[in-house]
A and B are shown apart, each in its own frame.
Chain A
Amino acid sequence: MSAELGFLSLLLALGCALLQSYAAFTKTPQGLALAVSASRAQAVAALASFLFLLASFAASDFSVTNVVANSHSTKPMFFKIAAGWGNHEGSMLLWAMILSLYGAFFAQFTGRKSVDGRFAIGVMGLLSAGVLAFIALASNPFWRQIPAATDGRGLNPLLQDIGLIIHPPMLYLGYVGFAVPFAMAMGALAKGTIDKEWAKRSRPWMLIAWGFLTWGIVLGSWWAYRELGWGGYWFWDPVENASLLPWLVGAALVHSTLVLERRGGFPGWTVLLAIITFSLSLIGTFIVRSGLLTSVHAFAVDPARGLAILIYLLVAIGSAMALFVWRAKSFEADIHFTPASREAMILVNNLVMSSAAAAIFLGTLYPLLIDAIGAAPLSVGAPFFAATAIPLFIIGMAAMGLAPLAIWRKGTLMQALGQSRFALGIALAGIALTIALKPGSLMGPLAVGAALWVGAGTVTYGVKQRKMRWTLDQWAMVLGHLGLAIAALGMASTALFSTEVSQAVKPGEIVQLGKVQARFDGITGVRGPNFTAERAQISLLGEDGKVSRTLYPERRFYPASGMPTTEAAIDSHFLGDLHVTVSALTEKEGEKTIVKGWAVRLFYRPLIGWIWVGAALTGLGSLIGGFGIGWRRRRQNQTNAAQPQGAS
């Protein structure tokens, strides 16, 4: 039953979405009230639809095609339910549900308060209607099959991980969240004017979306570190790049909106950034879900559906761009500022973020382009992105360390630098130390210097402002910038100072890596809930020769999918991680594969944990800013609304 109820809820949500946008575009007061109610009903229906899908997965209803394809009776309950969104159809429904939720909250708290907001409610309804119609027509997760299957066909075992279970919802909260500033931008364009009020109303939504997107990316990277290969945390894989694009442009957007809010500057540019950010979010979804770019993430490849998504994408982006070209000319701002003012620093941020996004966009699509024109295939990988994006980021961070100390409008370089003496000293010391430790590298010392410069600059700002009562904006900035500095230091340190060793071993043999001594004690066979594994015991020896810790890396085999996976064992510390994997040395003799021995790989990655801690802090800062500012404004509005009543 739950599959039918789920589909009915989906259709109901679609109806509500259409009603919502129709009512919002009619110019009557009743229309607005109806649109807000419809947005609420749509959210409830979409949520119900998603829960009905999860219920089918929880009950292992093998008459539902999607459950058969993506679940298995032997899976633990937690992973059964999570399989509901670990596939194409389910994840599209999750996407649509999140869009509906954003739509309802936006209509309630922001949309109904202004003319452009009202138009935005209509746009949110149209965006929802498009996705819901696509799901109902081309990507129905509730499809039944007769006869029912006896069991499911499992799920990629790599996906059975807590990091990957929270990763898609978090990422989608980010991607989809940018629909709100997109809709607000359309509202401003339709209205024909834009002002500081627009920025005040939109910025909390941007911060919320950007914070969730940051967390989503962090979770994905943490998952890759623990599950894929040998502990790389970022592969510059097309799908990873796709999530980085809205993150970069979104970072430009939250900053340019700040200038619009404070000084009324960059209105046209801000609206354009809002459109591009959501467009890139859509393209990110499209790239993952169409299989256009083959990648490790393309677990569901279906070009026909890709075409439907592409049409949706062209209509959404195309109409937004057309509206922009038609109306944005009226968005003129005449603001004045010096080359070392806060505004100028934010412009450097915008420039760097846009150029980096362009580099990643180009690098990701270039192999396809080359393929399309029939030239010899080529790869664009980590060395290209590192060579292009890292120098840009270093330039951006040079401005970032200075920005909080630069004053609005008429800051001078002397004034900002005068306050940055401490930061400058720390950064130069870091550069010198890195050169001493790792001679011959150019970008490495500069990256370390840039990270320290931003970190120390942010601390300087905090110390200078310590006697004030901080606004939420200040908290958001300090946490965000500090987190980024910590993450950048972790990345630079991992790139510069990682060490590794791989060695064929016999039981009792010791593998040495720097000061680390790891003894291979042997292999035992173990059985998990839905896999079998060969588990190695690795004893880490202290300086006295005694065992200080024991690690158990595994080689797992999931019969349901026929895939072997490497489970690393990680000994995490504040200053770095020891990452241990074991692999079998095999030889084929005729049809049989014979295990000839074992090899152990040790990696030491200094400060790698700082990457996730720092980036998570950045996301937290953004979320505190977004939710906090939004909440305060709501309370203010309530008191403002209450006062005249009390007076009368």
Chain B
Amino acid sequence: MRALLILMAALMLGAFVAPERPLGDPAQEARALNLFKELRCPTCIAQSIHDSNADIAGDLRVIVREQIAQGRTNEEIRNYLVARYGDVILLRPPVNGTTLPLWLGPWLIFLVGGGIVFVAMRRHRVKSD
């Protein structure tokens, strides 16, 4: 709830940047940094909140750190953010019906291409001389 209040305050005040403090527990801080890299900065194009120096990215970092400190799991934090921003907040698109072609396409090309190469190679085998 406090996170939501901070977010609302941030949106109202525009340029407010909460001082960012790393979490005391190094393991928790490492978790936070990894999570930052998966979350998109909503006002940026391709940057994660880890890489962006936009104000909103800073606010989201504060929220993620707070939720980690409150003992929430990564899954819970992701769900929390998806509920507010939609899937667009995730830099790793979820695997579902609409994203199946995206996730499988490249490997399909690799396997089909590999199959064609394999068959062609067998047909054009070097005659042992």
Q: Mark A384-395, 1 if CB is under 8 A from B, else 0.
A: 100110001000
Asked if residues A355 and B121 are in contact (CB atoms below 8 Å), the reply is no
- Asked, given contacts A229-B53, A593-B15, whether A392 binds B110 with beta carbons under 8 Å apart, the answer is yes
Q: Does B67 contact A (CB under 8 A)?
A: no
Q: Does A376 contact B (CB under 8 A)?
A: yes
User: Which B residue's beta carbon lies closest to that of A343?
Assistant: B121
Q: Does B125 contact A (CB under 8 A)?
A: yes
How far apart sit A228 and B52, CA to CA, in the bound complex (Å)?
A: 8
User: Which A residue's beta carbon lies closest to that of B113?
Assistant: A351
Contacts of A375 in B (CB 8 A): 98
- Asked, given contacts A237-B45, A377-B88, whether A502 binds B20 with beta carbons under 8 Å apart, the answer is yes
Q: Does B24 contact A (CB under 8 A)?
A: no
User: Distance (Å) between the CB of A442 and the closest chain B CB?
Assistant: 15
- Asked, given contacts A235-B46, A597-B19, whether A379 binds B98 with beta carbons under 8 Å apart, the answer is no
User: Distance (Å) between the CB of B76 and the closest chain A CB?
Assistant: 19
Asked if residues B126 and A382 are in contact (CB atoms below 8 Å), the reply is no
- Asked, given contacts A294-B45, A337-B124, A585-B19, whether A379 binds B90 with beta carbons under 8 Å apart, the answer is yes
How far apart sit A379 and B89, CA to CA, in the bound complex (Å)?
A: 7
- Asked, given contacts A362-B105, A363-B102, whether A585 binds B17 with beta carbons under 8 Å apart, the answer is yes
Contacts of B15 in A (CB 8 A): 586, 588, 593
Q: Does A336 contact B (CB under 8 A)?
A: yes
How far apart sit A339 and B120, CA to CA, in the bound complex (Å)?
A: 11
User: Distance (Å) between the CB of B113 and the closest chain A CB?
Assistant: 5
User: Distance (Å) between the CB of A331 and the closest chain B CB?
Assistant: 14
Contacts of A347 in B (CB 8 A): 117, 121
Give the B interface residue count (CB, 8 A): 49
User: Distance (Å) between the CB of B122 and the closest chain A CB?
Assistant: 9
- Asked, given contacts A354-B113, A599-B20, whether A392 binds B93 with beta carbons under 8 Å apart, the answer is no
> Of the candidates B48, B101, B121, which one forms a contact with A382 in the assembled complex, judged by CB atoms under 8 Å apart?
B48
> Of the candidates B37, B45, B102, B126, which one forms a contact with A336 in the assembled complex, judged by CB atoms under 8 Å apart?
B126
How far apart sit A409 and B37, CA to CA, in the bound complex (Å)?
A: 46
> Of the candidates A294, A352, A362, A410, which one forms a contact with B110 in the assembled complex, judged by CB atoms under 8 Å apart?
A352
Asked if residues B17 and A392 are in contact (CB atoms below 8 Å), the reply is no
The main secondary structure of chain A at its interface with chain B is: mixed
Contacts of B106 in A (CB 8 A): 355-356, 358-359, 362, 388, 392
How far apart sit A232 and B125, CA to CA, in the bound complex (Å)?
A: 47
Asked if residues A379 and B93 are in contact (CB atoms below 8 Å), the reply is yes
Q: Mark A207-244, 1 if CB is under 8 A from B, else 0.
A: 00000000000000000000011101001111010000
Contacts of A599 in B (CB 8 A): 19-20
Asked if residues A504 and B124 are in contact (CB atoms below 8 Å), the reply is no
Q: Does B99 contact A (CB under 8 A)?
A: yes
Contacts of A409 in B (CB 8 A): 126
Interface residues of B in 14-54 (CB under 8 A from A): 14-17, 19-22, 33, 37-38, 40, 44-48, 50-53
> Of the candidates B21, B37, B121, which one forms a contact with A337 in the assembled complex, judged by CB atoms under 8 Å apart?
B121
Q: Does A161 contact B (CB under 8 A)?
A: no
How far apart sit A582 and B116, CA to CA, in the bound complex (Å)?
A: 54
How far apart sit A378 and B90, CA to CA, in the bound complex (Å)?
A: 7
Asked if residues A379 and B21 are in contact (CB atoms below 8 Å), the reply is no
A-B contacts, 22 of them at CB < 8 A, read A228-B47, A230-B51, A235-B46, A294-B45, A335-B124, A336-B127, A355-B107, A355-B110, A358-B109, A359-B106, A362-B102, A370-B98, A375-B98, A379-B40, A379-B88, A380-B91, A384-B91, A384-B92, A384-B102, A500-B33, A504-B20, A586-B17
Q: A366-B102, A388-B107, A587-B13 are in contact. List 20 more A-B contacts (CB 8 A).
A: A229-B51, A235-B46, A237-B47, A295-B46, A296-B44, A296-B47, A337-B126, A338-B125, A351-B117, A355-B113, A356-B106, A358-B105, A359-B105, A362-B106, A366-B99, A379-B89, A379-B93, A387-B92, A566-B53, A585-B19
B-to-A contact residues, CB < 8 Å: 13-17, 19-22, 33, 37-38, 40, 44-48, 50-53, 86-94, 98-99, 101-103, 105-107, 109-110, 113-114, 117, 121, 124-127
Q: Which 3 interchain pairs have the tightest Cβ spacing?
A: A381-B91, A359-B106, A383-B92
